[in-house]
Amino acid sequence: MEIELPNGWNPRPYQLDGWRAWEAGIKRHLWIWHRRAGKDDVALNLAAVAAHQRTANYWHCLPLYEQARKAIWEAINPHTGRRRIDEAFPPAIRKRTDNSAMTIEFQCGSIWRVVGSDNPDSLVGAPPAGIVFSEWALANPAAWAYLAPILAENDGWAVFITTPRGRNHVKSMLDMARKSPQWFSQVLTPKETGFPLALIEEQRREYHAIFGVDAGDALIDQEYWCSFEAAIIGAYFGREMVEAEREGRICAVPVDPEQPVHTAWDLGVGDSTAIWFFQVLAGGLNVVDYYAATGYGADHYVGVLNERGYAYGHDFVPHDARVREWGSNGRTRIETLKGLKRKPRLVVNVPLDDGINAARLTIPRCRFDAERCESGLEALRQYRKAWDDDKKCFSDKPLHDWTSHGADAYRYLALAWRELRAETPKQPKPIKGVREMTFNEILKRQSPQRTRV
C-alpha cells in the first residue's frame, strides 16, 4: 500500500505559514493560535512527515504526562470520529504501537512518543530530533532549558503551540522570537482565521454560567483573542503578582551583606525540591534567589547553596522533613541536613488554606529579584486551583503540577519570616548625653541619695 503524507490531511489556509516556515528550514517555532485553530493537528502531521524524512526520535510533549494520554493519545477528532493519532499515523506506516508507553515505531525506523514535561529530568535520554511542546503556557519552562542543548546538538527542531496564560514565559519567548531570524512566531486570533464569532459568543455564555461574567470574559480574551493581559483563572496569587509587577517590586534586588540569607524549602526526592532565599529587613522582605531541581539528594542542594556563597541564617523546612528518607542509615531529612552543616528548622504546621492566605499577605511585603527568582515567580503566577470536570467548578485543592513545589516553598517562607520577625529583639533607645537632656531628665537619672532638696 502506498501512503502519501500528510495522510489525507490538508492544512487550512492560515496554517500554511507555519508549515512552510518549517519546510524552509526554520527550526524554532512559536504558534500562539486561538482555541480550536487546529494546533495539535498541524503538529501531529508535521511530525509524521519529519519522521519519514529523517530517522530519529520525535516527541509530543504536554505539561502533564497523564494529560498527554487524554489530550493526544486517546483524543478523537469530533469531525471524523477517528483517533487523532490514527489519522496522522495510519497503521500501514507503523511497525509497533505501545499503548502503555504511548509510543509508535514506524516502518522507516523513526519513533514517536507522547511525553510530559512535569518531570524535566525524565526527558533526558534518547535524544529527539523534533519536539512539539503543546499547551506550552502551562508547561514547566525548565523543560526547554533541559532539552534546548540536545536539539542544538542534533540539529533538531522545536514547535511551541499554545494560547496565552498571563504575561509568563510565553510572552517573554514571543518578544524574543519576534526579533530573531532563527524563529518563526505567529499570533492568530479569530480575526486572522475567520473562526465564526457566533461560536465564540456561544462559548462566552457557557463560561458566564460556569465562571461568572468577569472570569468568563477573561477566559474568552485569553483563549480566543490571545490576550496576555487576561487573568489566569483560578490562580491563587494572580492579583498579588500583578500588583508586585505594577509597583516595581519585581526588579534587581541586591543581597544585603549585613543581614543573613534564610532559606525556605519544599522537600522531595522523586518530586522536585524548591528553595527560596530571603532576607528579613526593617521595611519588609527581600526575596533574593530561587532554586529547584528534581531527583537529587540533600548533598546536591547543599552544594548549590554553598556555591552561591550567601551568609546563611536558618533553613526552614516543612514537617515532612522528619521522614526517614533522603540519606543513609535511616536518618531523617533534618538529621541529614544537620550532618551537612546546615541549620534546619521546622516551619509551624498550619492547614493548607491558612498557609496560602499567609502567602497572599506576604507577597505585598516582598521585593523579588527578577532574574534570580524568574522560575519561582512563574510558579507563583501560575499556581492555581484544580478544575473538577464532573462538577464543573474549581476544586478547593490546588492543581498538583510543576508550580506546586515553588508555591509550597513560598508558603513556608510566608510562615517562617513571621517567626523571625517575632524573635528580633527590640533595639534599646539611644542614651542621651547630658547636654541633650532636659532638667527633669537629669533629675530622674540621679541616684536617690543625691536627689535635690
Task: Give me the CATH number covering residue 167.
Answer: 3.40.50.300
Say if residues 134 and 72 touch (Cβ distance below 8 Å): yes
How many domains are contained in the chain? 3
Q: What are the distances in angstroms from CA 408 to CA 245, 267, 318, 389?
A: 21, 9, 9, 25
pLDDT tens figures, 376-425 = 999 999 999 987 767 767 888 898 888 999 999 999 999 999 888 766 54
Number of helices and strands (H, E) in the chain? 17, 17
Rounded to 10°, the helix 374-382/238-246 angle is 140
Q: Please report the pLDDT score of residue 254 as a whole number.
A: 96
Q: Which residues pair with 113 in a beta bridge?
A: 59, 103
Predicted confidence at residue 418, as pLDDT, reads 82
Task: Say whether both 290 and 377 belong to one domain.
Answer: yes
- Whether residues 165 and 184 share a domain: the answer is yes
Residues 207 and 322 in one domain: no
The grid coordinates of residue 100 equal 502503555
Residues 271 and 202 in one domain: no
- Whole-angstrom distance, CA of residue 345 vs CA of residue 343: 7
Q: Based on the fold, state whether residues 155 and 205 are members of the same structural domain.
A: no
Which domain, by its residues, includes 355? Answer: 245-423
For the chain, residues with pLDDT lower than 50 are 425-428, 434, 439, 442, 447-453
Q: Within this chain, do residues 266 and 339 fall inside the same structural domain, yes or no?
A: yes
How confident is the model at residue 439, as a pLDDT?
A: 47
Pairing of β 344-346 and β 111-116 = unpaired
Same domain, yes or no, for 228 and 138?
no
Please tell me whether residue 143 adopts helix, strand or coil conformation: helix
Please tell me whether residues 144 and 258 are part of one structural domain: no
Residue type, 4: E
CA distances, 198 to each of 68, 206, 213, 230 (Å): 30, 13, 18, 21
For the entire predicted model, the pTM comes to: 0.73
* CA pair distance 394, 389, nearest whole angstrom: 9
Closest by CA position to 166, among listed 220, 222, 217:
222
How high is the pLDDT of residue 450? 39
In a domain, 156, yes or no: yes
Asked whether residue 204 falls in the same domain as residue 146, the answer is: no
In a domain, 444, yes or no: no
228 and 255 part of one domain: no
Whole-angstrom Cα distance, residue 368 to residue 376? Answer: 10
Give the Cα separation of 37 and 192 in Å (integer): 11
Together in a domain, 33 and 180:
yes
Does 453 fall in a domain? no
Residue 89 lies in a domain: yes
Angle at alpha carbon of residue 349, lines to 345 and 351, rounded to 5°: 150
Q: Determine, yes or no, domain membership for 7.
A: no
Question: How far is Cα 317 from Cα 85, in angstroms, rounded to an integer?
Answer: 45
Residues 313 and 183 in one domain: no
